[in-house]
Structure 1
């Protein structure tokens, strides 16, 4: 699905296929990690009012989710898991309190070792999905045509585009809520699903080719 697509039904279909796409990857613990990230973590963060924050164990689990769903970079996990609890609490509390200033919120989180704009975006998306989408490679490529720049400036461009797209989807779907985070998940699911289909078609072609060669030999 192209980012410029205006067919609401296609966006809804891509979003609704997110869970099955997660399962189809067959990655160890990804289903449970994704459930934690999308369902458990937001509740934990919001029940800590008036001072919402994330803990080091939660940030570590979030990093596991991010790396398992995307590219595995164990050093980042090592950095995050060794962060001091009070430092993580303080940085995340300042970040959440900075919203809706996304630039300031990301900057508050990136003082933590191992946390760049992409990981910061995942933390913020768990807390405020209606404002801050996760900076995934797939969604970045779809929205901006580039997934190699993980700078704050690039994230702000990305977040703005997904906020705008979410508003358009809301208008088209008669007031149904469609957040920037929903846009990211729909894009991710669409891209991963297309890659999986292409891979399967390539495999089917190879099998037919091998079968055809065997028949010719016989």
Structure 2
């Protein structure tokens, strides 16, 4: 949660208005993304973020009509994800040791399953070390207009927000 707090500032879950229709507020938030990433002061994060936001989407689109991701690209995506949030080196080890032909085949099926996000995520999560958050990052790199990236931190934030709305604590669920 610390990474997300640094990324969005000191905004409580209840202050995040995802139903906000004021485009200028969303543009302002988006325009501060790079400075927020830089403020995290994490080694390699800026170059990893450049890879995820620019290089990887371009590589994936170049492979149309049958896009796929390679093990090396998936490993770099995992480095990006873990550098932004909670470091879990075992996940990177799992992903880095995956057979490249399996990663390419599984990811190609997942990309071709879009816009069925649930099906695409289910296909990607058969890869060891790839959970729903990583799967969503893979899909978002290829089709951001269809598949949003749901980081682990954002998922926890949503759960906490729902608990606050329902008047419950984590111990009650």
TM superposition score category, shorter chain reference: 0.7 to 0.9
Q: Residue 48 of structure 1 aligns with which residue?
A: 63
Give the superposed CA RMSD.
1.7
Partner of 2:16: 2
Larger radius of gyration: 1
Number of residue pairs matched?
A: 147
Give the structure 2 partner of residue 90 of structure 1: 105
Deviation, 1:146, is 5.5
TM-score of the pair, normalised by structure 1: 0.64
1:124 correspondence with 2:139 = yes
- 2: distance between equivalents of 1:109 and 1:2? 30
Q: Which residue of 1 aligns with 2:49?
A: 34
CA distance in 2: counterparts of 1:82 and 1:10, whole angstroms? 42
3-state DSSP of counterpart to 1:60: helix
Are the aligned partners of 2:45 and 2:84 in contact in 1 as well (CA < 8 Å)? Answer: yes
Residue in structure 2 matched with residue 158 of structure 1 by the alignment: none
Mark the CA change 1:115 to 1:143 in structure 2 (over 3 Å): closer, same or farther.
same
What SS does the aligned partner of 1:41 have?
helix
Choose the corresponding residue for 2:37, options 10, 22, 43: 22
Shift of 1:132: 0.8
Structure 1 pair 44–30 and aligned structure 2 pair: CA distance change class (3 A): same
Name stretches of at least 5 consecutive residues in structure 2 with no aligned partner.
Answer: 1-14, 163-173
**1:172-211 equivalence runs, <5 A:** none
CA contact (8 A) 1:2 1:142 kept: no
Give the alignment of 1:59-138 within 5 angstroms.
59-138=74-153
